[in-house]
Amino acid sequence: MPTVVTFGEIMMRLSTPGHTRFSQSPTLEITFGGGEANVATSLALCDIDAGFVTKLPKNDWGNRTIASLRGHGVNVSGIVQGDGRMGVYFVESGAGPRASRVIYDRADSAISLIQPGEIDWQKVFAGAKWFHWTGITPALGGHCVGETRAACEAAKAAGCTVSVDLNYRKKLWTRDEAKAAMTELMPFVDVCIANEEDAESVFGIKGADVETGEIDRGRYIDVARQLTEKFGFTKVAITLRESISASRNGWSAMLFSDDDAVFSRRYDIDIVDRVGGGDSFAAGLIYSQLHDMPKQKAIDWAVAASALKHTIPGDANLVGVDEIATLAGGDASGRVQR
């Protein structure tokens, strides 16, 4: 079985071509994406044996989704198929002052109808070293909270490191619902990935202003310290996005462990597609930990990987180790590679 296992929903993504609007485009481009699937894909493309677990409909769309994942090298042996439909989301890419828009159509998707016992979690985690999930999965309703817990229990029993991206989605559940469910799941988590907004939305944790020349940095360190003290995480990574416009963002991150924080290089990104940017960061961080990178190198690697993703259409970060290493090493020239 895979070295890294992820669990969550993958949906059909229907995107307007280029920067056209929903109201004007006569066609939509089909790809597939979802937080945990994006992480597995990124890792597989970096030569990590990564597997994705979900439930898909037993029809042509479910089969095409599996084929797409398999084509990127993702282990799909943990996927089950059955009742329910394919979740869908629509993406309109913004530009300049016009924000991107996402419309979800995921009610009664196959994973939301998952039943206890459909997935053999002990088999899934045989030989695995790492388990990753996001706050989206338990928010999908039905037995998804229970199945996320069952996965976490099996992962810990198998000796896996467990990571979570908090990923609060207000369209899926309320803050109170998120806090109750996620608090119960945090004892299984070793590595927490978040941004400041998610930490406040899910756990009510807000950074205090620090009277230094680097107020923001101090606040992020405070958030990470509070999360660590409350839940006992070994590491907390916080992404730092500066939204200048829909087309341009500042992008960096912080890694906190052993009461010490390091910050990555900051990238000014001309955005092609920011969907999946956080997932590519999570994948880069997991990759760095599997390779025992020192703290500074680890956060630089994760941010470089995610900076590249912002330049690629679709959910998946279609880059490999050499490209990430080049950017993490300081070459951001964008010159033609011959």
Annotated catalytic residues are 279
Handedness of CA 316, 321, 322, 324 (dihedral sign): positive
- What does the block give as tokens for 123? 């088999």
Q: 152: which 2 tokens?
A: 């976490």
The helix (H) or strand (E) run that includes residue 224 is helix 215-231
As a whole number of angstroms, the distance between CA 44 and CA 47 comes to: 5
Instruction: Compute CA 160 distance to the chain's CA centroid, rounded to the nearest angstrom.
Output: 18
Residues 178, 202 contacting (CB under 8 angstroms): yes
CA 231, 233, 236 angle in degrees (round to 5)? 115
Asked if 181 contacts 145 with a C-beta cutoff of 8 angstroms, the reply is yes
Q: Kindly compute the dihedral angle of the four CA atoms of residues 116, 118, 122, 128, in this order, to the nearest 10 degrees.
A: -110
Compute CA distances 238 → 121, 235, 254, whole Å: 29, 10, 5
